[in-house]
Amino acid sequence: MKTEICAQRMLSRFRELSSIGQTDRGVCREAFSPAWKEAAQRLCRMMEEEGLAAHIDPVGNVYGRLSGACKDLPLVLLGSHLDTVTDGGLYDGAFGVAAALEVACAIKHSGQRMERDIEIVAFNAEEGGPLGGTFGSRAAAGNQATEGKEEALSACGLSAGAVRAAKLSRAPKCYLELHIEQGSQLFEAGERLGIVEGIVGIVRFELSVLGQANHAGTTPMQARRDALLGAARLIAFIHEKAAQKEAPFVATVGKLSVFPNAVNVIPGRVDMILEMRDMEPVSIEAFLHEVQQEAQAMQGFIVEFRPYGGKEGVRLSSAIADRAEKLCRAGGISFRRMYSGAGHDAMEMAKIAEAGLLFIPSRDGISHSREEFSSEEDMLLGAQLLLELALQSAQEP
Ligand SMILES: [Zn+2]
């Protein structure tokens, strides 16, 4: 008989966990806040009620384990995060945690034999804070640097030792995460499941557009070298060129500093940050080259480019994606294989294990807002698929 999730049990636990920290502006369950602590402890109790071996690690990641037959085999890890942004939504993170917990419960109640342990995790501080995003999963993967971070760590009540102790003693066989899309692709296409193939990389450059500061009253229009005008032209070029590229490529200028930034002075200099995201570093490089050429061709301005950091893209397991696709096809579920423009705990786990990430639709693509919404039907469908993927992995010798 097919093992099935229990809709009522999952939804009621989801409602209980996700509403901790809810206000009329949205959910405030920021990492290390009293609301987050309450949620972590409540989750621990839910796990214990189900007979899972539960604990909270030294950085606030919550774990609960369901034992399989062979202790020696690497386990199957399932989860998401429990913290939210300030004034966030009910679904971001909490849905994936509630679904993972339900998967463990459904398997336990079904009495199905599993070769491997299944462990549920609710990572802490995915949304950032003093330690940056995906902190909990980075610590679990052993990739969280502690040097020079003493102040940020102590602001969260942590030490370098706590970070070291949070590292998983053994890499899992795989990590599976179910999350809301937080974008509008699935909702607009009327598709029910997103199978994520990778999380895009980010490259940022700081650009300085240099013109000539001058008197705003006495300098004729023809004689101006207005750096803000140069920056505006370059931004328009960036937008138009990026719009011609294939998804998931995006480019944004989201930060500008105008000098001297005075009402009666023609801007002499504009500093701005160009951010480009894509799966392929070469396509980002090619785009940057086009922007540089355009900048060079602009009359009357000098444009300087300086690297401003970024993040490498992460490919998730294609074997897990293929298995998810097969399950969708068999179940007549509409799906799309896609890339994520936002970071997730799965990208940290992908560095130590095979990782899979599934999305359900977000209504109107809205997230990090109290307007965030996903339907119960989609939540249940996603959870059922997560269960089937987890079971397959846990039954593999
Ligand atoms: Zn999230």
pLDDT digits (tens, 9 = 90+) for 75-104: 999 999 999 999 999 999 999 999 999 999
In the reported structure, the alpha carbon of residue 198 is separated from the centroid of ligand 1 by a whole-number distance in angstroms of 15
In the reported structure, the alpha carbon of residue 222 is separated from the centroid of ligand 1 by a whole-number distance in angstroms of 51
In the reported structure, the alpha carbon of residue 13 is separated from the centroid of ligand 1 by a whole-number distance in angstroms of 18
Which segments of the chain belong to CATH 3.30.70.360?
201-311
**Angstrom distance (rounded) from CA 74 to CA 251:** 40
Where does 201-311 sit in CATH, by number? 3.30.70.360
The pTM of this model reads 0.89
In the reported structure, the alpha carbon of residue 365 is separated from the centroid of ligand 1 by a whole-number distance in angstroms of 14
**Angstrom distance (rounded) from CA 269 to CA 288:** 21
In the reported structure, the alpha carbon of residue 351 is separated from the centroid of ligand 1 by a whole-number distance in angstroms of 18
In the reported structure, the alpha carbon of residue 103 is separated from the centroid of ligand 1 by a whole-number distance in angstroms of 19
pLDDT digits (tens, 9 = 90+) for 260-295: 999 999 999 999 999 999 999 999 999 999 999 999
Matching CATH number, 7-199+313-395, of 3.30.420.40, 2.20.130.10, 3.40.50.880, 3.40.630.10: 3.40.630.10
Q: Which pLDDT value is given to residue 131?
A: 87
Residue 129 has pLDDT above 90, yes or no: no
Which segments of the chain belong to CATH 3.40.630.10?
7-199+313-395
In the reported structure, the alpha carbon of residue 256 is separated from the centroid of ligand 1 by a whole-number distance in angstroms of 28
In the reported structure, the alpha carbon of residue 93 is separated from the centroid of ligand 1 by a whole-number distance in angstroms of 4
Q: Which pLDDT value is given to residue 397?
A: 87
In the reported structure, the alpha carbon of residue 126 is separated from the centroid of ligand 1 by a whole-number distance in angstroms of 7
In the reported structure, the alpha carbon of residue 58 is separated from the centroid of ligand 1 by a whole-number distance in angstroms of 21
pLDDT tier for residue 132 given thresholds of 50, 70 and 90: confident
Average pLDDT rounded to a whole number, residues 136-144: 96
In the reported structure, the alpha carbon of residue 180 is separated from the centroid of ligand 1 by a whole-number distance in angstroms of 8
In the reported structure, the alpha carbon of residue 86 is separated from the centroid of ligand 1 by a whole-number distance in angstroms of 13
In the reported structure, the alpha carbon of residue 127 is separated from the centroid of ligand 1 by a whole-number distance in angstroms of 7
Average pLDDT rounded to a whole number, residues 224-228: 98
Residue 50 has pLDDT above 80, yes or no: yes
pLDDT tier for residue 2 given thresholds of 50, 70 and 90: confident
In the reported structure, the alpha carbon of residue 111 is separated from the centroid of ligand 1 by a whole-number distance in angstroms of 31
In the reported structure, the alpha carbon of residue 39 is separated from the centroid of ligand 1 by a whole-number distance in angstroms of 16
In the reported structure, the alpha carbon of residue 341 is separated from the centroid of ligand 1 by a whole-number distance in angstroms of 12
Q: Which pLDDT value is given to residue 208?
A: 98
In the reported structure, the alpha carbon of residue 145 is separated from the centroid of ligand 1 by a whole-number distance in angstroms of 22
In the reported structure, the alpha carbon of residue 200 is separated from the centroid of ligand 1 by a whole-number distance in angstroms of 15
Residue 1 has pLDDT above 80, yes or no: no
Q: Which pLDDT value is given to residue 206?
A: 98
Average pLDDT value for the chain: 96
